[in-house]
Amino acid sequence: MTFTQSVLELLLSFILPPLAVFIHVDKCNAQVLISVCLLFLFWFPAVLHALWICFFRDDAYGDHHWSTPMPNAETCNIRRG
């Protein structure tokens, strides 16, 4: 993340939080929808959510873990019987 993008996301986190989240994740996903819903309810939780997504969340918790298959008995070396 460049310095310019960080400053832009920081400013947008306070002005329009869903746009900051959208710019950070580069796609319209559940995080953007959560940010929009929070903005309609209250402004402050939407700002906290945008700051968390843009600056504090580790990328290891991205959406990619939802698409990985669940382990089965063969991959876990579990004996049956």
**pLDDT for residue 11:** 94
Helix (H, G, I), strand (E, B) or coil at 68: coil
**pLDDT for residue 26:** 86
Indicate the domain borders of the chain.
3-58
**pLDDT for residue 38:** 92
> Is the predicted pLDDT of residue 10 greater than 70, yes or no?
yes
**pLDDT for residue 2:** 87
How far is the C-alpha of 8 from the C-alpha of 30, rounded, in Å? 21
Look at 4-13, 16-25, 37-46, 55-64 and tell me which has the smallest mean pLDDT: 55-64
Q: Which helix or strand (DSSP H or E) is residue 19 part of? A: helix 17-25
| Residue at 57: amino acid letter | R
CB 24 within 8 A of CB 62: no
pLDDT digits (tens, 9 = 90+) for 26-80: 888 899 999 999 999 999 999 999 999 999 887 655 554 444 555 555 555 556 5
Q: Read off the DSSP letter of residue 53.
A: I
How far is the C-alpha of 81 from the C-alpha of 75, rounded, in Å? 16
Tokens of 78: 């579990």
pTM (2 d.p.): 0.68
